[in-house]
Every structure is written in C-alpha cells, then in structure tokens.
C-alpha cells in the first residue's frame, strides 16, 4: 500500500501504557465481585479502581515505544485519516454529514464507553462513545497466529471497524440491536449480517484506494487473507477442531471475503445493504 508518513493523526488517542490492567491488584474474587455488581445494578463499578486506588496498585507509567511501533502508529494514522476522508466525501455526495470518530490505541486493557475490554478481544468499535479501539499487538497476532501478513491486511482491520462507525451514524446499529431484542432467536444471525455489512463497507473504502492508485500488487490478496483469517469457521476450527455455524457472530471466511469483495468491486454503499442475505 502506498502511504505517506504524516505522523500521528489528530483523531488518534494514544493511551498505550498509561492505564492499569483490568482488576490489577484485585485478585479473581474481587474482579468477579465488581463484575457481578456491575451487571446487577447496571452501573460500572470498575470505576472504583480509578477513584479509590483499586487494590493499592499505582497506574502504570507511560511506556517507551520503539521506532518500529511509532512507524506503525503513523501507518494506522494514515489509514484512519484516509478512511474518514473517504466517508466524508461519500456522505457529502449523499447530502449527509459524516461525524469523524477517534481511534484509541491501548495496551493490554482499556476502559471504553462500552465498559472494560482486554486486548484478547481484538479491535472493536464502541457505539456508546463512537470510538475504535485497538492494541497494536493485535497486528502481530494477525500475522503470526492467523497467517495474514501485510500492511493492507492491517488496513482492512481498521476499515472494518470504521464500517461500524458508518453503520452507527446511519442508525443501522440501533436498528440491529432492536431487532435482536424483538427476536432473540435470530440474534446471532443478525450479528453476522451486521458484521458482513461492515466488511462490505471496508471494501467500499478499498475501492476508493484502488481508484486513487494507492493499492499495490498483492494488497487485495492481503485484505482477503485477513478477512478469511478472522472468519468464525476458521477460528472455531483452529480453537476446537470443530465448526458450529449456529454460534457464529461474524460470518464464515468465505462470507467475509465475499462481502469485502462486493464493496471492493462496486464501490457503492447500496451494494452492502443485502449483506448476509446471500452467500
């Protein structure tokens, strides 16, 4: 992928090494207690870790970052800005306003508007605070564990999460949650459709990079490889040796590749509306 090092984007929030790990100093019993209280009373009791010192452990000091990691931050910043600029144009052409989001870099664990999350969850979008969250260590896992190397594989991950931001702006996320509440038996199927639509929206951005000659040879294959690598069937097969489609929440490798490719080939948001309804 052809990209320019423009430093860190204004839309990047760097929280790496600046917070505490979830439940630091609590022990498993204390962590579970706070979790139960949070669920029962529908209040984030983990905030006590911040106000009371949570077990007596001090916040970690900001970590120093290697030149290689700083270069990765610059790459992430470039992709983030390019994706957001693309959606700004798309929304303007449709007579709508695109609200830019923030991308939060963190290490190990982070507190978001959706609650605490650990790096093991992978990158995610939180509709409550309209932010994308990523631990850069995920890219090493993407390359080594999932066998999906390459900078455009990394870019696909960001574009997919940004697709969720687009869905949120358009009201699609709220509609999907409402539909899940109305029909709990279809909750996972609706989640799959939602995730495949985000893959398609990532493909719409990839189409724009193709039109602007940012793509290099092999980039599309890298993105498709990443989409396949995080398919529910491949992850289940790797983890348990078995595949159970009834438990899928993101779609199969084939579906994820198909819908990314649909956006890539057509470059039209309208083509993403039927995501998950075929294939």
- Chain centroid to Cα 101, Å, comes to 13
Which residues of the chain, if any, have pLDDT below 70? 18-64, 276-279
For the chain, the residue count is 279
Listed in sequence order, the residues at least 6 apart from 199 whose beta carbon sits closer than 8 Å to its beta carbon are 160, 163, 227, 251, 256, 259, 260, 263, 275
At 252 the pLDDT is 96
At 20 the pLDDT is 46
At 24 the pLDDT is 44
Burial state string for 129-138 with b = 16 or more CB within 10 A and e = fewer than 16: ebbbbbbbeb
In 72-135, at which residue ranges do the beta strands (DSSP E only) sit?
102-105, 109-112, 115-118, 124-126, 131-134
Query: Which letter does DSSP use for residue 54 in this model?
Result: G
First to last CA, the chain: 29
pTM above threshold 0.75: yes
Closest CA to 195 of 264, 253, 115: 253
Integer Cα distance of 219 and 150 in angstroms: 8
Integer Cα distance of 251 and 92 in angstroms: 31
At 274 the pLDDT is 77
Integer Cα distance of 247 and 146 in angstroms: 20
Tens of pLDDT, residue by residue over 157-187, are 999 999 999 999 999 999 999 999 999 999 9
Query: Which letter does DSSP use for residue 88 in this model?
Result: H
Answer yes or no: are the C-beta atoms of 155 and 80 closer than 8 Å: no
For residue 112, what are the β-bridge partners? 115
């Amino acid at each position: 992928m052809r990209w320019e090092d423009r430093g860190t984007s204004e839309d990047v929030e760097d929280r790496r090494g600046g917070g505490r790990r979830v439940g630091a100093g609590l022990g498993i019993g204390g962590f579970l207690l706070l979790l139960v209280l949070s669920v029962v009373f529908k209040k984030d009791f983990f905030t006590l870790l911040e106000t009371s010192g949570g077990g007596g452990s001090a916040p970690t000091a900001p970590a120093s970052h290697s030149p290689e990691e700083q270069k990765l931050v610059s790459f992430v910043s470039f992709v983030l800005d390019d994706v957001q600029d693309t959606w700004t144009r798309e929304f303007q052409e449709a007579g709508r306003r695109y609200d830019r989001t923030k991308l939060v870099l963190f290490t190990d664990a982070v507190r978001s508007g959706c609650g605490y999350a650990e790096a093991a969850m992978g990158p995610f979008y939180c509709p409550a605070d309209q932010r994308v969250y990523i631990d850069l260590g995920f890219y090493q896992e993407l390359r080594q564990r999932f066998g999906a190397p390459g900078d455009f594989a990394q870019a696909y991950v960001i574009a997919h999460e940004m697709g969720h931001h687009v869905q949120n702006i358009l009201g699609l996320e709220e509609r999907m949650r409402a539909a899940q509440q109305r029909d709990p038996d279809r909750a996972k199927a609706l989640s799959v459709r939602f995730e495949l639509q985000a893959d398609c929206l990532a493909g719409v951005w990839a189409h724009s990079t193709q039109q602007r000659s940012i793509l290099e040879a092999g980039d599309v294959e890298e993105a498709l490889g990443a989409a396949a690598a995080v398919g529910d069937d491949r992850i289940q097969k790797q983890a348990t040796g078995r595949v159970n489609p009834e438990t899928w929440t993101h779609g199969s490798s084939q579906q994820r590749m198909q819908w990314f490719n649909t956006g890539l080939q057509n470059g039209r948001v309208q083509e993403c509306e039927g995501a998950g309804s075929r294939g």
